[in-house]
Amino acid sequence: MFSIPLAHIEPILTAAARLYAVGGEIFTIGAIMWTINFAANLTEKLYVAGVTTGRFYKRHLHKRMLWTAKHAACTAIVVSDYAWTGAKHVYSNREELLTKLNTTRNRVGSWFVYPTYTYDARNLELAMCNDMFDSWESRIHKLNMTTTTK
């Protein structure tokens, strides 16, 4: 059988270990250099894109954006003033507005409810006597007065 003495293998293993360490360092340095180069190229491209965008904005959009921002601020101020004035009006007239809202709510609600008629002698006689002479509004008023909703 063929055998190599350990004295000959040790220098070979040491050289291989040194070669592996140097190769790892070269690979690590190469990876670091590639990353730095990539970051530098990315920074350069972003800078060029920013300069181009900035020039375009300054030449074509700056005046319009200032006009838009100014008018948006003015609109926000006017709308908030109207809202504040409306809130004060609603608060100071809340009783009257609540009465009107309840009346309107009840009137609209009555349009969607089937009425139940109650016929007592007095209402029936009054409706029969005045039916020919009343206007349409008074008929509706009389009808509402003589009906009850469930």
pLDDT 10s digits, 46-69: 999 999 999 999 999 999 999 999
C-alpha to C-alpha distance for 17 and 23, rounded to whole angstroms: 10
Q: Are 116 and 148 in contact (CB under 8 A)?
A: yes
Tell me the CA distances in angstroms from 24 to 30, 36, 91, 125, 148, one per residue in order. 10, 18, 79, 113, 96
Tell me the CA distances in angstroms from 62 to 11, 53, 56, 114, 116, one per residue in order. 73, 12, 9, 63, 69
Look at the pTM and tell me if it is higher than 0.75: no
| Residue ranges in the chain modelled with pLDDT below 70 | 1-2, 4, 115-150
pLDDT of the residue at 98: 95
